[in-house]
Structure 1
């Protein structure tokens, strides 16, 4: 469906239109004011009955007349969801108004869901020591990173910790495809630059969601761990001919640029990246990023899992509690450990974590120049769950290559599972558990590639319940409320699909120690929250009024 433009006079209910205009002025500012490089404000909107008797996109645009509005399709894979774009305005810092405008859009007849596509910084990546002071000033708790370790035995210690070399050898000995051969791993991230650890001959179907072209080049023009996509991609697919090796050195690489910085993530482009990956033949999707819940993201994950694509994400860094998309049950969540099999001190943990993998001092490619067009060769240590999930994605590629993806899909069907179901079950059943392992916070154990490849396909079936994509996407929000405010704060009557993103926003702000109205102000406070009243966690008048009525 083509883009629809609106901006001329339209007949609308006067009071409703006045309310829309008032909220629009509070929630947005003229594009170009404030922070340079802002993108237009936009909302993801699901319409009922598109093409039939339901609300038409142009009718939705008319709500904001005479303000210019564009209605764009989200993805060919999701024809009922559109982006309501204000081309001359960007979001203001008033997040209360930003969410409240979303509720107004949600109340338009024929709209069944609406949410702001706001960029959040709930995924700090403390990977570059020279920026630690700057990131600490942003409000993240001190001591969530460790710095480089000069005593590591070699650049492949993380691969050995997950027994990847043994898995390669096992495939070779069995005469099976080894090292992820011909498996396509898609990587939504900041894009990539030229680097000796990334082989252009094994790059396929790349895309840039932000600029809508086929060039995934990382411009390296942002703060907050520049070159992140290059670093995480190398951990998956580096060919091993230079200073390091990826976990799946014969896999194909599909880099997809969908975020401008790993510390400023909005979820709609991530959902679009997942759809692109599925539509273009990806077998594994690995996401070293995180932020808020999003109905567009949940729907994209469900489509990917239904298409037998393995999807996984990093649990997150420094905020303590797991972020989205890892928090969704339809996504495998990976937390982080160090060389001693102990938790990486910055790893998010708890609800949703499936397994853990090395996240501290993992060797990865490092862009060493200011220009993305100059080939780099530098390699160094990095830390963050970004690398834990990248290593796990490589293990997924090893498994798919060794057994054959078509065979694995067939075997999953015989067991009434999706491919994601079966992989998740076996990944957890074969994970190794060090002494005193904290399974409640760090999942089933540490990924073991060799054990996974050798495992019988029925392993773990009797110990674990069904894993399906039909799990309520609002459940992780309710779990977050229980984590941060206590079980009694969970309002069973609240519409978590509608209010989930705002609740998550305020609770994650509190978790990371940044002061918000009614939230904690003590930096790094990850212990008992200051209040068990959900009303104290929000500022939006509509949501507070709802909670007051429930009280």
Structure 2
């Protein structure tokens, strides 16, 4: 007998005065949002549930929030999602489970020597004092100053002039390095108001949004310089911590940016596969927004949203074009950019220390690359580029991705299967013929869980493990991605076919798995009829 959604929610959550548990329900094409909203509210009346559409752009995703209740463990949270999907006959359901699959330095307030506290061992490098003598090294590595000059020499808008770049992150705070930044109104998804200021609260990553914004849009004075210092910055506070990412909040941020005129969206964050996030990303691409995301840090393989085929995934290198040791890698990486000891703004508590320093992480690589996207849009004119893309049967996103890959620098001994086409070359991108690379690759932009989750399984276990035609990869995509990424963290990276301790999977997923290699990876056995749910205190 099907588990009643009400009972499942009682298993998945408990009553405490904390951030409420949330689920996203994706409706069937034939279902009426108002009718489904009423049905959910009536069924969950005992839990005091609230139901609202994800955004004005997507009324067919309902966000169910349970005040006073929180998730107790991932397995039971996914179990509740499956029960909700069955109870209300929706296309899919997912728990809005905050994830920690994007390790990053703990805070901008701490000394560089302590920043390793946010990274696992072997995932960071010491500060390089000599790089302070070359503060523009990251921009020079990407030929950004040459791109600025190229635009000026051709009497075109330079430095991203007029392009709006949205940045879902922890928000921003007033900072000397951002004093000359051009901005447009932003938004706070968490507090639902127009103030995207980073509150710099304890825990998480206070100042992360300020640091990443600085390498994107900071003016050429006083110290830190962004790759697109004339672009208009649209700050969006979507997360409290880059190491505890809520997928639904990021989806809301993407929709808000798309609906308010963003031309580029850059995300220095990552987590698991999400139906709601994928739909929002696709809407942005359809609206001719260039969307980029960090490949990820320290979990070896590329995380979502960078892993979606529609998204530009950016890996990280150092000043010598050598892979930053913490960069996620694999065939999902499109291009790479500086991520090691990049000069960026820091947020401090008035201790008299400098307010800039060297940071590391693919957070900086993607922000720098987003600035290059702004240079490209400004130089050619966004309307002209949209017309050129349409004439070639492409989206603007697909055209940008094709050209940024085709023009990337390919250093000696470059591993394209791990780190993408090469290092971003802004000058070459601006000068490129619009047809460059059309004869070399055909990019797909229709992949969902069936492709992106299977690709993770193929990388992390084996190609054979991704062959299971009996498994509903769409339904189980979020939990499979969670389980695989968690296993990556525990094992320290890709170790194909390595036996594991029994995984903390929902009973529904454990019962549905049949592929022997995948069962072995999760420490399960085909002779066992079912694996129970293991809770956490």
TM-score normalised by L of structure 1: 0.88
* Corresponding residue number in structure 2 for 1:135: 118
Q: 1:540 aligns with which of 471, 482, 506?
A: 506
Residue number among 452, 461, 465 corresponding to 1:489 in the alignment: 465
TM-score, structure 2 normalization: 0.91
Aligned to 1:251: 231
Distance in 1 separating the partners of 2:409 and 2:116: 36
**Pairs within 5 Å for 1:341-352:** 341-352=321-332
**Local SS of the residue matching 2:172:** coil
Q: Distance in 1 between matches of 2:71 and 2:448?
A: 29
In structure 2, C-alpha distance between the alignment counterparts of 1:54 and 1:193, rounded to whole Å: 39
Contact 2:161 2:231 in 1 (8 A): yes
CA contact (8 A) 1:60 1:108 kept: no
Q: Does 1:511 align with 2:488?
A: yes
| Map of 1:188 onto structure 2 | 168
- Structure-2 separation of matches of 1:502 and 1:75: 24
2:498 aligned partner: 530
Cα separation, 1, equivalents of 2:515 and 2:336? 42
Given that 1:220 and 1:370 are in contact with CA atoms closer than 8 Å, whether structure 2 keeps it comes out as no
Matches within 5 A, 1:65-76: 65-76=45-56
| Structure 2: stretches of 5+ with no match in the other structure | 517-525, 527-537
Quote the Cα distance in structure 1 between the aligned partners of 2:477 and 2:16: 27
Q: 1:121 to 1:353 in 2, by over 3 A?
A: same
CA distance in 2, matches of 1:450, 1:413: 24
The alpha-carbon deviation at position 65 of structure 1 amounts to 3.5
Distance in 1 (alpha carbons) for counterparts of 2:186 and 2:30: 31
User: How many Å apart are 1:539 and its aligned residue?
Assistant: 2.1
Tell me whether 1:119 sits opposite 2:98 in the alignment: yes
- Aligned with 1:108: secondary structure? helix
Contact 1:127–1:384 (CA under 8 A) maintained in structure 2 = no
357, 364, 367: which one pairs with 2:344?
364
Which of residues 270, 292, 302 is equivalent to 2:272? 292
Q: Which residue is 2:206 aligned to?
A: 226
Distance in 2, matches of 1:304 and 1:413, equals 16
Q: CA deviation at 1:19?
A: 3.6
CA distance in 2, matches of 1:455, 1:253: 26
Whether contact under 8 Å (1:267, 1:297) holds in the other structure is: yes
Q: Does the CA-based 8 Å contact 1:204-1:253 persist in structure 2?
A: yes
User: 1:222/1:498 Cα in 2 relative to 1: closer, same or farther (>3 Å)?
Assistant: farther
- The answer for the alignment partner of 1:198 in structure 2 is 178
Structure 1 residue 286, shift from structure 2 partner: 0.2
Superposed counterparts of 1:148-227, under 5 Å: 148-152=127-131, 153-199=133-179, 202-227=182-207
Mapped to 2, the partners of 1:326 and 1:309 lie a distance apart of 15
Once the two structures are TM-superposed, the CA of residue 367 in structure 1 deviates from its matched residue by: 1.2
Q: How far is the alpha carbon of 1:200 from its aligned partner?
A: 6.7
Give the direction of change, closer, same or farther, for the CA distance of 1:203–1:549 in structure 2 (3 Å limit): closer
Equivalent position of 1:29 in the other structure = 14
Alignment correspondent of 2:126: 147
1:299-314 equivalent positions in 2, closer than 5 A: 299-314=279-294
Deviations 1:270-295 (A, max 9, x none): 01101111111100000000001101
After superposition, the Cα gap between the structure-2 partners of 1:241 and 1:538, relative to the gap in structure 1 and judged at 3 Å, is: same
CA change 1:134–1:445 in 2 (3 A) is closer
Farther-moved stretch of structure 1 (183-192 vs 500-509): 500-509
Structure 1 unaligned blocks of 5 or more: 1-14, 33-37, 514-519
Aligned partner of residue 100 in structure 1, secondary structure: helix
> When the two structures are aligned, how many residues end up with a matched partner?
511
Counterpart secondary structure, 1:389: helix
Q: Which secondary structure state, in structure 1, belongs to the residue aligned with residue 387 of structure 2?
A: helix
Deviation per CA, 1:222-273, whole angstroms, max 9, x where unpaired? Answer: 3243200000011100011211210000000000000000110011010110
Q: 1:199 to 1:97 in 2, by over 3 A?
A: same
Could you tell which deviates more after superposition, 485-494 or 412-421?
A: 485-494
**RMSD value, Cα:** 2.3
